[in-house]
């Protein structure tokens, strides 16, 4: 299966959530996890390389793509193989609208879209959703509130939530703003990090299992 973390704009904690989800899955599934860092900043890959010095065991491998590659999936069979095999293939895409990743956005089983309630994030999230519509993406879209401050009243939350639900599934459980997530690595989740993501990730896994009639 293919699970892709993607947004139109950086700064929403996309890569942090992708790392956290890969780590969370590694502790709960017997399936092989393959990570592909297609973000220009290569933050996921760089963190994974840094963690090679860790004494903790490696949870998964991370591959990158060169910026000179115009179409990473020019061989359509490759993306179909990733989609159909039992491995969990997790992609971290660049925070941009880049047509070079169109095949991946079209054929991913799930696109995970982190967002915040800032005006910039709200607008860019809807721009990204419209882009997926233009591509006629077949992927299930799952929206996750990132860096959510439960002590703050977001004036645009009700309207934003209603709009987002037109285009996909909005997780009930947000990822609350937690400093512990800023120190995440690719070898483990601390107790505090696991607590911060457990509810939204359990909800996400349930949706994946029910949608694909599987058990990850």
Query: Per-residue pLDDT for 12 more than 90?
Result: no
| Contacts of 97 by beta carbon, 8 Å cutoff, 6+ apart | 8, 127, 128, 131
**Above 90 in pLDDT, residue 18?**
yes
8 Å CB contact between 12 and 96: no
Query: pLDDT class for 77, splitting at 50, 70, 90?
Result: confident
What local confidence, expressed as pLDDT, does residue 65 receive? 78
The better pLDDT of the pair 203, 80 is held by 203
At residue 71 the predicted structure's pLDDT band, cuts being 50, 70 and 90, is low
Is the pLDDT at 66 greater than 80? The verdict is no
Q: What is the pLDDT of residue 69?
A: 61
Locate the domains of the chain by residue range: 2-211
The torsion angle over the Cα atoms of residues 9, 112, 173 and 119, rounded to 10 degrees, is: 20
Q: What share of the chain is helix, strand, coil (3-state, %, to 5)?
A: 45, 15, 40
Whole-angstrom Cα distance, residue 107 to residue 4?
A: 10
What is the distance between the alpha carbons of residues 75 and 91, in angstroms, rounded to a whole number?
17
Element containing residue 115 per DSSP (H, E):
strand 110-115
Query: Is residue 183 very low, low, confident or very high in pLDDT (cuts 50, 70, 90)?
Result: very high
**More reliable by pLDDT, 41 or 87:** 87
Return the pLDDT at 68.
Answer: 60
Task: State mean pLDDT over 142-171.
Answer: 92
pLDDT band, very low/low/confident/very high, at 74 (cuts 50, 70, 90): low
pLDDT computed for residue 8 by the predictor: 77
The end-to-end CA distance of the chain, in Å, is: 10
Whole-number pLDDT of residue 79: 87
* Residue 187 clears pLDDT 80, i.e. is over it: yes
Angular region, 22: left φ>0, alpha ψ -120 to 50, beta rest: alpha
Superfamily of domain 2-211: P-loop containing nucleotide triphosphate hydrolases (3.40.50.300)
The 10 Å Cβ neighbour count of residue 78 is 12
Mean pLDDT over the full length of the chain: 90
């Amino acid at each position: 299966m293919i699970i892709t973390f993607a947004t139109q704009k950086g700064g929403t904690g996309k890569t942090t959530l992708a790392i956290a989800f890969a780590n969370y899955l590694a502790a709960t599934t017997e399936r092989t996890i393959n990570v592909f860092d297609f973000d220009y900043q290569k933050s996921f890959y760089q963190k994974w390389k840094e963690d090679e010095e860790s004494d903790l065991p490696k949870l998964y491998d991370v591959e990158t793509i060169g910026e000179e590659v115009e179409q990473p999936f020019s061989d359509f069979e490759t993306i179909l193989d990733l989609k159909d095999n039992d491995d969990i293939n997790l992609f971290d895409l660049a925070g941009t609208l880049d047509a070079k990743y169109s095949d991946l956005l079209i054929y991913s089983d799930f696109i995970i879209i982190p967002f915040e309630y800032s005006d910039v994030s709200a607008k860019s999230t809807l721009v990204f959703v419209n882009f997926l519509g233009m591509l006629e993406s077949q992927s299930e879209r799952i929206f996750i509130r990132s860096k959510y401050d439960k002590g703050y009243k977001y004036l645009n939350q009700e309207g934003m939530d209603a709009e987002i639900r037109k285009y996909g599934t909005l997780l009930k459980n947000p990822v609350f703003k937690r400093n512990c997530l800023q120190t995440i690595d690719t070898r483990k989740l601390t107790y505090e990090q696991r607590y911060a993501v457990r509810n939204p990730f359990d909800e996400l896994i349930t949706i994946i299992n029910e949608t694909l009639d599987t058990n990850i």
